Structure 1
């Protein structure tokens, strides 16, 4: 997969070095997404007037806010946006908070894999000592952001699910959900291969029926793990 770094705004850093870091993220994704991973070129652009990174799925543009040689920030931001690009079309509106949580999980999940890659074969030998920092950064971010709340979404009185369906971008809440999803994905790394199917869930479905639909269209080997996700939210599918 080709990663194109657009010049401008990155500060005192070589574009080729940025590319090496982002290629490492792609390499970490590959075993988990397998043949379902998107192989179309990705153009990466620095953006200044934005509070957070974002992507354009149609043009396959990723906009990052980091600069210089902050390799962990590059990997963290790109992992999240690259996960979005693995989903070929828009996810239905009521489920976009779930997509955001999955993509936040991607940063927490894949950065330790980048550490493992660099420990074995860093892009440059001089970068070997930097390898542990990716894992450390992901762990620190997962502990920093979460905001505790009740995940019992079977409870019709729980205001959180209604809030999330209207407010997909709530990083503390997305991060908390990501940390709860982590054990399920760690137990079944190939579950990532079913993430691109999220865009096939029809619009207007509740979370319970969305997860049930996802389970039905996913290959049989992923259905148990999707059921575990439903259990996380106290839902039966």
Structure 2
């Protein structure tokens, strides 16, 4: 049976042997940085969200709500630092959105998945910038690997990303996106399209605090109407720019 190491007030990680032998200081700092970067963008105290346990899972990454505790399952081994960051960022975004976390895919779950893909891109970019000038020489030496890893996904599917430059591209993809299955290639293309706005104004991440259960939404226009009603001055213009980017 696994035991757990508490690495922050709200974060614990399993000693599951499937994680392999990894450089704990570096990996734990990456995981903590995901929270602090998001907390800064969301203007909330770091490590102030509900308890979250990080565990290994053969079947792949996911975020689950088990008896009121969020479990983030990762499928990563050893010093695959880029994968630790990429997977955890995606699942931690689900954790912050705090929906019902069932396996059903309907409503605007495609948009939540897109935003969580965007979270991985954003954190790779942010950690690269933070570590490229870090006083810790190991972190500084690792920083280019995050930029290189980001380049693999920004975008991952160049032909689909090219289609996002055409007005009304989302309406053409609507039937595909609302299918009850994952279309991660499309999510990546849309996330890549959104990426510059979140880099320009990290406060735009505040919108995820008002998503709720994305299965309750059937229209992106309706969601944006709701988000405009809850937006503050730090990101209201950026939210309008995002809506225009996606729906014009």
TM-score (norm. length: structure 2): 0.80
Please point out which of 112, 116, 119 is paired with 2:125.
112
Q: Does 1:65 align with 2:65?
A: no
- Matched with 2:147 is 135
- Deviation, 1:44, is 0.6
Deviates more, 1:174-183 or 1:10-19: 10-19
- Matched with 1:4 is 12
> 1: distance between equivalents of 2:112 and 2:181?
9
- Deviation, 1:53, is 0.9
The verdict on how the C-alpha distance between 1:88 and 1:204 changes in structure 2, with shifts beyond 3 A counting, is closer
CA displacement, residues 80-135 of structure 1 (integer Å, 9 cap, x when unaligned): 1111111123499411111111110111111121122223436x543431122112
- Matched with 1:102 is 115
> 1: distance between equivalents of 2:63 and 2:27?
17
> 1: distance between equivalents of 2:220 and 2:43?
27
> 1: distance between equivalents of 2:238 and 2:44?
19
> 1: distance between equivalents of 2:214 and 2:231?
11
- Matched with 1:226 is 239
Q: Judge conservation of contact 1:147–1:173 (CA < 8 Å) in 2.
A: no
SS in 2 for 1:94: coil
- Deviation, 1:20, is 2.4
- Deviation, 1:228, is 1.8
- Matched with 2:98 is 88
Gap regions ≥5 residues in structure 2: 1-7
Superposition RMSD in Å: 2.6
> 1: distance between equivalents of 2:238 and 2:139?
36
Gap regions ≥5 residues in structure 1: none
- Deviation, 1:46, is 0.9
Q: Judge conservation of contact 1:47–1:64 (CA < 8 Å) in 2.
A: yes
- Once the two structures are superposed, the pairs formed by residues 178-197 of structure 1 within 5 Å of their partners are 178-197=191-210
> 1: distance between equivalents of 2:201 and 2:118?
14
- Extract structure 1 runs of 4+ deviating beyond 6 A: none
- Matched with 1:32 is 41
- Deviation, 1:201, is 7.1
The verdict on how the C-alpha distance between 1:154 and 1:161 changes in structure 2, with shifts beyond 3 A counting, is closer
- Matched with 2:211 is 198
SS in 1 for 2:30: helix
- Matched with 1:20 is 29
Across the two proteins, how many residue pairs are aligned to each other? 229
- Deviation, 1:17, is 4.4
> 2: distance between equivalents of 1:175 and 1:75?
16
SS in 2 for 1:35: coil
Q: Does 1:53 align with 2:65?
A: no
> 2: distance between equivalents of 1:100 and 1:201?
10
